């Protein structure tokens, strides 16, 4: 059975979105930490496969983060009725973080910690490509989505939810197809990669953004919930297997890229979002537990921003982690990075000046 909670007045806080956000940020840290082992030789053995499971198994997290933003923002009155106020609020939230964290990773991590020698041309290229450090592209991605939110919201919220679903599915299908075509062309030795930069990172994710709003009220029960859960688990499992066995299924290598905009990953991300919110109906959250969930959820953006500073400090000072071959060492580094990042983010949220960049 499928139900919708739309049209029942303003609901209590949706703790399902908080849980999804907390699980997703744990997955983001896992991708960046265990990815160190995944990328290192040898590409086999139990340790490598364990790292692949914890890395690729969370490949849906960035799309889900974008969907959470869409669910929270596109239906808000301020986006539709007071776009200028919306822009001021979001700019005050994102622009200080954008400047501060680019400086931290460019100067603090690349120059001071890694002792990189960066020419002016290299700095400009890093800034334009949003590749100053691994995760900072996401700020530009979200900033772009915020810019178009007041344009998109009136269209998809003007009629019943069918328009929102059709719009989200159409936009997402176009993005998935656009990123599938280079793989197909590669079969004919035609190289057509899609370059991304600070002005374009948001574009392929508009479909996910709209999907967050379109599917925010879907709640599955019974057999539909079991079926979608199974299909989602199979898609994630196949993506893990596919990553570790590239070359065995050439058609899958071309058509189902292991990326945030791959067809299988997109379907899995939608499944995680819908199943996660559907299962949240069964949560019984006390006021104390709710306070904790909200605190951890609100700290997730700060965790996203600071975790690679902490992990880089661990990586450069712990030989077993720097060597990237010891799964137990990297697992310990993950736990330390995650706990440290949440601690720093939660503490920063209590300091007025730091709160602006966390």
Comparing 121-125, 128-132, 282-286, the range with the smallest average pLDDT is 282-286
Contact in structure between 342 and 332 (CB atoms under 8 Å): no
Distance, CA of 262 to CA of 268 (rounded, Å):
10
Nearest 5°: phi and psi at 125?
Answer: -65, -40
The percent of residues in the chain predicted with pLDDT above 90, rounded, is 88
Burial 274-297 (b: 16+ CB within 10 A, else e): bbbbbebeeeebeeeeeeebeebb
Per DSSP, the residues of 169-234 read: HHHHHHHHHHHHHHHHHHHTT--------TTTTTGGGHHHHHHHHHTTTEEE-HHHHHHHHHHHHH
pLDDT at 14: 85
Q: What is the pLDDT of residues 45-68, one digit of tens each?
A: 999 999 999 999 999 999 999 999
For the cut 50, the answer to whether the pLDDT of residue 131 exceeds it is yes
pTM across the whole model: 0.93
pLDDT at 83: 94
Distance, CA of 310 to CA of 276 (rounded, Å):
29
Q: What is the pLDDT of residues 173-194, one digit of tens each?
A: 999 999 999 999 988 989 999 9
The three-class DSSP label of residue 3 is strand
Q: Which among 315, 326, 308 has a CA at the least distance from the CA of 106?
A: 308
Band of residue 11 on the pLDDT scale cut at 50, 70, 90: low
Distance, CA of 348 to CA of 277 (rounded, Å):
29
For the cut 90, the answer to whether the pLDDT of residue 86 exceeds it is yes
Q: What is the pLDDT of residues 288-338, one digit of tens each?
A: 999 999 999 999 999 999 999 999 999 999 999 999 999 999 999 999 999
pLDDT at 81: 92
Mean pLDDT of the chain: 94
């Amino acid at each position: 059975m499928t139900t919708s909670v739309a049209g029942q007045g303003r609901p209590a806080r949706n703790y399902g979105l908080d849980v999804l956000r907390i699980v997703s940020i744990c997955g983001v840290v896992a991708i960046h930490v265990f990815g160190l082992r995944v990328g290192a030789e040898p590409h086999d053995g139990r340790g490598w496969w364990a790292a692949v499971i914890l890395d690729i198994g969370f490949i849906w997290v960035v799309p889900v983060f974008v969907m959470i933003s869409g669910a929270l923002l596109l239906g808000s009155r301020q986006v539709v009725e007071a776009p200028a106020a919306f822009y001021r609020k979001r700019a005050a939230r994102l622009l200080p973080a954008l400047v501060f964290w680019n400086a931290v990773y460019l100067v603090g991590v690349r120059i001071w910690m890694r002792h990189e020698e960066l020419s002016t041309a290299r700095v400009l290229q890093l800034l334009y490509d949003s590749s100053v450090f691994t995760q900072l592209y996401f700020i530009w991605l979200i900033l772009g989505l915020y810019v178009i939110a007041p344009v998109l919201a009136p269209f998809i919220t003007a009629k019943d939810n069918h328009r929102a679903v059709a719009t989200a599915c159409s936009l997402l299908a176009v993005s998935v197809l656009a990123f599938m075509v280079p793989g197909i062309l590669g079969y004919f030795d035609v190289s057509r990669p899609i370059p991304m930069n600070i002005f374009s990172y948001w574009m392929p994710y508009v479909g996910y953004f709209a999907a967050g709003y379109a599917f925010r009220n879907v709640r599955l029960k019974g057999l539909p919930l079991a079926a979608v859960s199974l299909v989602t688990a199979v898609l994630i499992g196949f993506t893990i297997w596919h990553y570790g066995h590239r070359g065995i299924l050439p058609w899958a290598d071309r058509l189902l890229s292991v990326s945030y905009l791959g067809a299988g990953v997109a379907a899995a991300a939608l499944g995680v979002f819908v199943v996660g919110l559907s299962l949240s109906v069964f949560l019984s959250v006390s006021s104390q537990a709710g306070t904790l969930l909200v605190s951890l959820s609100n700290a997730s953006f700060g965790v996203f921003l600071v975790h690679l500073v902490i992990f880089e400090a661990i990586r450069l000072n712990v030989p077993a982690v720097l060597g990237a071959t010891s799964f137990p060492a990297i697992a310990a580094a993950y736990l330390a990075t995650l706990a440290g990042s949440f601690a720093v983010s939660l503490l920063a949220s209590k300091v007025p000046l730091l709160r602006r960049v966390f």
